[in-house]
Chains A and B, each alone.
Chain A
Amino acid sequence: MGVPLSRSMISADLPHRPQLLAAVVFTCLLAGCGPTTVVVQGNFPPPLIEPLPLTLGVWYGDDFARHEFFDEAKGRGESSWVVNTGEAQVQMWDTLLAGMFEKIIHLNNKPGPGQSNASIDGVLIPHVEELQYTIPIHTHVKVYEIWMRYRFELVTTGGEPIAEWSMASYGKTPTAFLQSNQAAVNLAAVMALRDAGANFATHFTQVPAVQAWLQEKGVLANASTP
């Protein structure tokens, strides 16, 4: 994808004293160096789609913007995993929504009573409800996989619900020579994020409650339906 597939979570600010360094190394060895961490990184292209003539507000909750998946090791030979997708989620959804709508506005506060803004047609609140992964050690199939289940809320700036729906996404990548588990899980996560974007972009206008909202706004005829 043209960028490093994974990066270490360990800070580069190393201790200067040799004793402290030795203590850190010893603790690290005792602890098995902790869980395997993947901070998902990737490039996400803008969608080639006719933008809807609407101004969409977007609000990312902390659970979404800092989304992290933790899976504890189940066996002696396995490692615990931390898959941090928050940063990549925000990057992908920002790029996607900016291409799908005429204008997007990031909100600082969650939509609620007393926050009406007439220039915003609706506010999208995405949630990652579930994330699952498999690596070849689990399945004996030479494929790394990531599943994600999203829930979307489309509300008014005052917080009144317009639509709510779920969507799944899936990404996989085969094993490759000299590819680490982290790099492969990162690539599978990037594929899952791209799939989420593709699924959202091609099905958004087909969600019944969204269709009703678009009709109300008078833009359904212009909507890009596949």
Chain B
Amino acid sequence: MNTSGRSLLLSASIALVSACVTSTVDEMIYNEPIEGIGDSSVVILGRRHGSDYETEPDFVLCVGEYIASYDHSITVIGELEFINALYPWFEPRTAPLHPEDIDRLLAQKPVAEKLAALKVEYMIWLDGSTVRTGGSGSMACSLVGCFGFGTWAHDANYEATIWDFTDQAAVGHINTHASGQSYMPAVIIPIPIIAPVKGAACDGIGHQLLEFLSSEY
């Protein structure tokens, strides 16, 4: 089989084992940088002060990687690196909830110096989570294999709030909602057909943020 034939087979296999995802993105941007963010950097942080959920670190990482992979000129500071460098000011208890709180942070001389050294121009807060919303079916496994059928759904809801560090103001909100149904039929071997719900939400929000931050998109 030639290379294009293999690629076609691989694409068809991926399409077959991926379930469908419905995704919507809403954005409200007030003050987009026309020339991109230049040599400044951006930090993407997850909100963690909710009592029954927290924004997954892997989602925050996914959005950062999406932006950095499409525009190599944008420096995205890692979440853990940032909150460790600025400990204790970005812990769930102490993290600023409103752009006006930036003043309170900058009043701390070591914090102001660290933020200046990191060249943070934009701070993006991601708030939300992906949850499993239901499931049905049954499967029985024995020595000869598994038989049955299972299905489950996931819902992803995230909001990105963009803070301009220089102007100390919120300059944009992006909401994304994605949902999808995953399946797992089993005739001897279980074949998971996974709906990449979180991935779709990451791509949706990542693309809008890329358009905001990059001069090339």
Contacts and interface: CB of A to CB of B under 8 A. Distances in A.
A48 interface: yes
Given A49-B110, A50-B108, A226-B108, A197 B88 contact: yes
Size category of the binding interface on chain A: 20 to 34
Interface stretch (B19-27, B91-99, B199-207): B91-99
A48 B93 contact: no
A48 B54 contact: no
Contact of B84 (A45, A49, A191, A199): A45
Contacts of B89: 48
B70 interface: no
B110 A48 contact: yes
B53 A48 contact: no
Given A195-B91, A195-B93, A198-B91, A48 B52 contact: no
A226 B104 contact: yes
Contacts of B129: 174
A46 interface: yes
B61 interface: no
A201 interface: yes
Contacts of A43: 84
Interface string B134-172: 000000000000000000000000000000000000000
B87 A143 contact: no
Contacts of B62: none
Contacts of B86: 48
A224 interface: yes
Interface in B52-96: 52-54, 56, 80, 84-89, 91-94
Contact of A224 (B56, B84, B108): B108
Interface of B: 52-54, 56, 80, 84-89, 91-94, 104, 108-111, 114, 129
Given A48-B86, A49-B110, A202-B88, 15 more contacts: A43-B84, A46-B87, A48-B89, A49-B108, A50-B110, A172-B54, A194-B87, A195-B91, A197-B88, A198-B87, A198-B88, A198-B91, A198-B93, A201-B88, A202-B93
When A and B form their complex, which 3 residue pairs have the shortest distance between CB atoms, in order from nearest? A198-B88, A198-B91, A45-B84
